[in-house]
Structure formats: structure tokens, C-alpha cells
């Protein structure tokens, strides 16, 4: 053991810093540097090779205000996230409550619920693309068999938007269900037994026992779901590529198209910064509420 300026330095601490060094270098090179560079790009003119050629101030941000569809893309992104996260949370909580009850085949049901989440999202999106196919898809074939006249799901703005959203919900439900199930199993059964002794109904136990004790899990799970859903590039790009006529574009797909199809890196970097700010504000708001509840 060595002493230096009143602080204890040990061989173990030096080894710990040495082992952390590769991870720190990886984070700096592949995470922090790209973030800083994109922020710089948003304030500079950028040529078609992605090189900074001159300071532009807020010019890239001002150019976004001239895009007639930019406001609708932001509104659509928020609507997409709010509806999808609400559906994933509600359905995931219901499934978790069902899987928390003893019944025959519960282990098999818990295993099957993981499949959509464990599967690759691009592969799942491609499977749903075939399912939505008007001529060969299973969905429209089944609806016609039942006597309905189904729409061409991915050909019209509204149906394409909700078709994309359902695939995102389908992929995200298992994660929410498993997280909520873990939270439910951590609640002591003695609390439910005490509530039953007092004559509490199932709804009363859910409202005053389950939800308060599941609050922290709900907060963290919904925050993660918001971040992932807002940035869900794979589903929309594979199913519709933002179409028809950009009607299903959200910010993340619009940024990609603006950067790599229109070759406008400056404005696309400004959009990325706006996306970062939106998600940062939401994260801080959620974190403050979470820690405030924890202190109380």
C-alpha cells in the first residue's frame, strides 16, 4: 500500500483504472466525439463530403423553419411516441398481471411472450410487411375470408401510420410486460393478504397497493420506451420508408433522408440536435419526478 498527499493508492485501484481505460476510450471515440461533431455541424455550413466549410450560426436551424413539413414531422413524432408508449404500457401491464397469477402453462406463456422482443426488429418488420401485403398478406386474406373489405394498409397515410405503430407496439410489449412482471414479483404478498383481511377488492388492491409500489418500475420502463420509440428508425423505414408522400416520417427517418438522400448535412445535424434536446428535456423531467417520489 502506498500513501501520497493523504490519499491511499493501492494496486487494486490502479488496476481498476487500467481496466476502465479501454471502455473510456471506446465511449469517447464512438459516442462522445460523434455527438460533439454533430453539434458542431449544426452551426456550420457543411459540404457534400461532410466537411465543415464555414461558420453558419443559427442558419441551419432557421432553414428548418422554412420547411413546410418540418412542424408536422415533429407533431407526428410526438403523437407516434405518445400513442405507442401508452399502448405498450397498458397492454404490457395487463399481460404482466395475468402472468403473475398461478395457472397451468404459465412458464410456457412467459417464454412465448419474449419472442417478439427477442427477434430482430428489422426481421420482424419485414415479416409484418408481408403480412400487410394487399395481394398475398395473411391479414387481408383473413379479413376477406371473414367478409370484410380491407384497405391497402401501407398505401394510405392514416392506415400506414397506424400499421407502422402496431408493429412498434408489437415489438415493444414483451419488454414492458417482463419489466412489470419483475416489479410485481418484488411486491411482498403480505401486503395483499393484509388488504384482503381489511376487505379490499381486487380493484382497491391494484389502485392502492400495486400501482404505488410499481411506480418506480413504471417510470423507468416508460422512459426507456419513450427514448426507443421516438428513435424507432427500423420499423418505419422498412415498412414504408416514410411514405406515402412522407406521411409516416418521424424525426429520425426524416433526418436520415435529409442527410443521405438530399445530401444536406447541416440542416439534418440541426434536426438531430433538436431531437437530442427534446429527449433530454423528457429524460430530465422524468428523472426529477422519479427522485422526488423516491424522497417522499
**What is the rounded distance in angstroms from the CA atom of residue 172 to the CA atom of residue 100?**
19
For 187, the grid coordinates are 411486491
Fold that domain 70-248 belongs to in CATH: MetI-like fold (1.10.3720)
Report the pLDDT value the prediction gives residue 191, as an integer from 0 to 100.
86
Look at the pTM and tell me if it is higher than 0.85.
Answer: yes
Given this model, what pLDDT does residue 293 score?
55
Measured in whole angstroms, the distance separating CA 201 from the mean position of its chain's CA atoms is 35
In terms of phi and psi (left: phi > 0; alpha: psi -120 to 50; beta: otherwise), the region of 103 is beta
- Helix (H) or strand (E) run with residue 4 in it: strand 2-4
Q: Name every residue whose Cβ is closer than 8 Å to that of residue 216 and which is 6 or more positions away in sequence.
A: 183, 290, 293, 294
Note whether 139 and 131 are within 8 A (CB). Answer: yes
Cα 13 to the center of its chain, rounded Å: 37
Which pLDDT score, from 0 to 100, does residue 290 have?
Answer: 65
Q: What angle do CA 72, 227, 255 make, to 5 degrees?
A: 45
β-strands 2-4, 7-9 pairing: antiparallel
For the chain, what is the total number of helices (H) and then of strands (E)?
A: 16, 4
**CB neighbours of residue 108 within 10 Å:** 9
Contacts of 274 (CB under 8 A, 6+ apart): 61, 64, 74, 251
Q: Name the CA dihedral angle for 258, 262, 265, 271, rounded to a multiple of 10 degrees.
A: -20
Cα 63 to Cα 38, 44, 69, 232, 261: the distances in Å are 17, 13, 12, 25, 17
Residue range(s) occupied by CATH 1.10.3720.10 in the chain: 70-248
| pLDDT, position 2 | 45
* pLDDT tens track, the chain, 296 positions: 444 444 545 677 788 888 888 888 998 888 888 889 999 999 999 888 888 888 888 899 999 988 888 999 999 999 999 999 999 999 999 999 999 888 888 888 888 888 888 888 899 999 999 999 988 899 999 999 999 999 899 999 999 999 999 999 999 999 999 999 999 998 888 888 888 888 878 888 888 888 888 988 998 899 999 999 999 999 999 999 998 988 999 999 999 999 999 899 999 999 999 999 999 998 888 777 666 655 44
Phi-psi region of 199 (alpha: psi -120 to 50; beta: other; left: phi over 0): left
Q: With contact defined as beta carbons under 8 Å apart, do 252 and 228 qualify?
A: no
Neighbour-count burial for 166-190, b at 16+ CB within 10 Å, e otherwise: bbbbbbbbbbbbbbbbebbeebeee
Sign of CA dihedral 168, 169, 171, 175: positive
Amino acid at each position: 500500500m502506498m500513501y501520497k498527499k493523504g490519499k491511499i493508492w493501492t494496486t487494486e485501484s490502479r488496476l481498476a483504472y487500467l481496466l476502465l481505460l479501454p471502455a473510456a476510450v471506446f465511449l469517447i471515440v464512438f459516442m462522445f466525439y460523434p455527438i460533439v461533431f454533430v453539434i458542431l455541424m449544426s452551426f456550420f455550413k457543411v459540404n457534400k463530403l461532410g466537411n465543415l466549410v464555414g461558420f453558419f450560426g443559427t442558419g441551419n436551424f432557421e432553414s428548418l423553419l422554412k420547411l413546410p413539413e418540418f412542424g408536422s414531422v415533429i407533431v407526428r413524432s410526438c403523437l407516434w411516441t405518445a400513442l405507442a408508449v401508452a399502448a405498450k404500457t397498458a397492454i404490457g401491464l395487463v399481460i404482466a398481471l395475468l402472468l403473475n397469477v398461478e395457472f397451468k402453462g404459465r412458464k410456457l406463456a412467459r417464454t412465448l411472450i419474449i419472442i417478439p422482443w427477442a427477434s430482430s426488429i428489422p426481421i420482424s418488420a419485414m415479416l409484418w410487411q408481408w403480412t400487410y401485403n394487399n395481394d398475398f398478406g395473411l391479414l387481408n386474406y383473413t379479413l376477406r375470408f371473414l367478409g370484410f373489405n380491407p384497405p391497402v394498409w401501407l398505401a394510405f397515410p392514416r392506415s400506414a401510420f397506424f400499421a407502422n405503430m402496431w408493429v412498434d407496439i408489437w415489438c415493444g410489449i414483451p419488454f414492458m410486460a417482463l419489466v412489470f412482471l419483475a416489479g410485481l414479483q418484488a411486491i411482498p404478498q403480505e401486503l395483499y393478504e393484509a388488504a384482503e383481511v381489511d376487505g379490499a377488492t381486487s380493484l382497491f388492491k391494484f389502485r392502492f397497493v400495486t400501482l404505488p409500489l410499481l411506480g418506480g418500475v413504471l417510470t423507468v420502463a416508460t422512459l426507456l420506451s419513450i427514448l426507443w420509440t421516438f428513435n424507432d428508425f427500423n420499423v418505419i423505414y422498412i415498412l414504408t420508408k416514410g411514405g406515402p408522400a412522407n406521411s409516416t416520417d418521424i424525426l429520425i427517418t426524416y433526418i436520415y433522408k435529409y442527410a443521405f438522400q438530399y445530401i444536406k448535412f447541416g440542416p439534418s445535424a440541426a434536426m438531430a440536435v433538436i431531437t437530442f434536446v427534446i429527449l433530454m428535456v423528457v429524460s430530465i423531467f422524468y428523472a426529477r419526478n422519479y427522485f422526488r417520489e423516491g424522497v417522499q
